[in-house]
Chains A and B, each alone.
Chain A
Amino acid sequence: MPAPQLMVSALELALNKLLHLDPLSGHRLQPLAGKRLRIQVRELPWPLTFAFSDQVDLLLDEDTEVDCSMSLSLSTLKDMQDVSQIGQLIQQQRLSLHGDMHTAQSFSNLLKELDIDWEEQLSCYVGDVLAHQTLQFFRSARIDTRQRLERLRQMLSDGALQEKKLAAHPLALEDFSEQVSQLRGDAARFEARLTQLEQIKAGK
């Protein structure tokens, strides 16, 4: 079975499904219509070519001309969300870009500005009330989980610092650092004074 085609097919399907869920993505696709963008993610064995029309077609094609080609690693992909960082990423040699930069910027904007009303989407299947309650439940669960994790972190921190004395408290650490700095300064002054006295003694 052509495994790369299977993967790219799934990716194309997911991408177009997401774009379809945002009513404004069609408008944002317009400046990209007829353009092609090739992205070589260093962790992947083959480059992906994005061909834009009223949707996005993904090709595993290395031969045809493209408007813009980019080579980057997966970690850089996240930083690409901020279009203003592109210049800096090129300077840092984390991104190699050839061709029309606007194509890359428009594609970045297309993904960054994707705004899907999940509640609206869910309501098509389960109705408004259940969709609202489900989304509300997930929002509350997310906030609750975040708070619980914060409390757990605080508890572990207190246990390690106060009860078990496994680690120093940040204030104690800061105080200790200040004392070390003070001592280092005193020692330096003492050394300088000692050198000076030795020079005076030698001069006599």
Chain B
Amino acid sequence: MSEPNSDRPQEISPAGPQQVGEEQTHFGFKTVEKARKASMVADVFHSVAGKYDLMNDLLSMGVHRLWKRFTIDCSGVRPGQRVLDLAGGTGDLAAKFSRLVGPTGQVVLADINEAMLKVGRDKLRDKGILVNMDYVQANAESLPFPDNHFDLITIAFGLRNVTDKEKALASMFRVLKPGGRLLVLEFSKPQIELLSKAYDLYSFHVLPKIGQLVVGDGESYQYLAESIRMHPDQETLKTMMSEAGFEQITYHNMTGGIVALHRGFKF
């Protein structure tokens, strides 16, 4: 077993989140130094950015579009509002928000990863989405925005990659306006045992192979599967949001709990 300060990641059991040291965190099933996780996640997304949309469609059989659509349906966004799409990746949510808030509103597409942000920016510009869209390379743990600034914050399939989730939720709470809402769309814990087993089989055996075949990078998709298992389940995330200050927190399971949408308000 490696020393805590060693550069080599420490393998841990896939059984679920385990206690790690103060300066350590999970990177999939590995335990790594907190300072290294961001760059390791960045490597993963640098590797997959070019074919991110294709892989999302392929791996979810297009269902990720419906999960995102449900998120938009729950957003309650209105013309003139200010929206932050965190870890916005290739801009699936941001494109729709841009039309919904109209020219008097503003959408900020933020991602820590430069490659993902570039793909998202190129995609949205190609679609002619220009007037109310801004792009910011930002770390969710220390958002570079004023207090009480956004009416809505969404983070879709991004929170599990954040090193310090509590710090990120606190940062989101700070920049959200009173009355504003946070929507966290993330992989979660399947609620049916049989589905859970089939999902494990798919995630650990099929998903990395498709990743290897299409992107030439099976490891990144192995990390994807592992990071999903290490992410807090529905109730744990609800508690974390509550501890960050959010109120009236509810969650909605989709596709048997494979994905859950958490919604919380700041008052």
Task: Using CB atoms and an 8 Å cutoff, list the residues of chain A in contact with chain B.
Answer: 1-2, 5-6, 8-9, 33-34, 51, 53-55, 57, 59-61, 63-65
Contact = CB atoms under 8 A, between A and B. Distances in A.
Contacts of A59: 72-73
Nearest to A8: B69
Contact of A51 (B65, B69, B100): B100
Given A1-B63, A54-B99, A60-B73, 6 more contacts: A1-B255, A2-B254, A5-B69, A9-B69, A64-B77, A64-B78
A141 B96 CA distance: 42
Grouping DSSP codes into helix (H, G, I), strand (E, B) and loop, the A interface class, with mixed when no group exceeds half, is loop
B67 interface: yes
Interface string B65-95: 1110110111011110000000000000000
A57 B70 contact: no
A6 B66 contact: yes
B73 A51 contact: no
Nearest to A9: B69
A9 B70 CA distance: 10
30 contacts: A1-B63, A1-B254, A2-B67, A2-B69, A2-B70, A2-B254, A2-B255, A5-B69, A5-B70, A5-B73, A9-B65, A9-B66, A9-B69, A33-B102, A34-B102, A51-B100, A53-B100, A53-B102, A54-B99, A57-B96, A57-B99, A57-B100, A59-B73, A60-B70, A61-B73, A61-B76, A63-B76, A64-B76, A64-B77, A64-B78
Nearest to A6: B66
Contacts of A9: 65-66, 69
B97 to A, nearest CB: 10
Interface in B75-130: 76-79, 96, 99-100, 102-103
Contacts of A51: 99-100
Contacts of B72: 59
Nearest to B67: A2
Interface centre among A2, A8, A53, A60 (most CB of B within 10 A): A2
A125 B255 CA distance: 38
A53 B99 contact: yes
A57 B79 CA distance: 13
Nearest to A63: B76
Interface centre among B65, B69, B70, B76 (most CB of A within 10 A): B69
Contacts of A2: 66-67, 69-70, 254-255
Rank and list the top 7 A-B pairs by shortest CB-CB distance, nearest first.
A53-B99, A5-B66, A5-B69, A60-B73, A2-B66, A34-B102, A63-B76
Contacts of B102: 33-34, 53
A4 to B, nearest CB: 9
B225 to A, nearest CB: 20
Contact of A55 (B67, B70, B99): B99
A61 B71 CA distance: 11
A123 B145 CA distance: 52
A6 B65 CA distance: 9
Contacts of B69: 2, 5, 8-9
Contacts of B78: 64-65
A2 B70 CA distance: 8
Contacts of B73: 5, 59-61
A136 B79 CA distance: 46
A174 to B, nearest CB: 60
Contacts of A53: 99-100, 102
A8 B72 CA distance: 13
Interface in B135-182: none
Contacts of B79: 34
B164 to A, nearest CB: 31
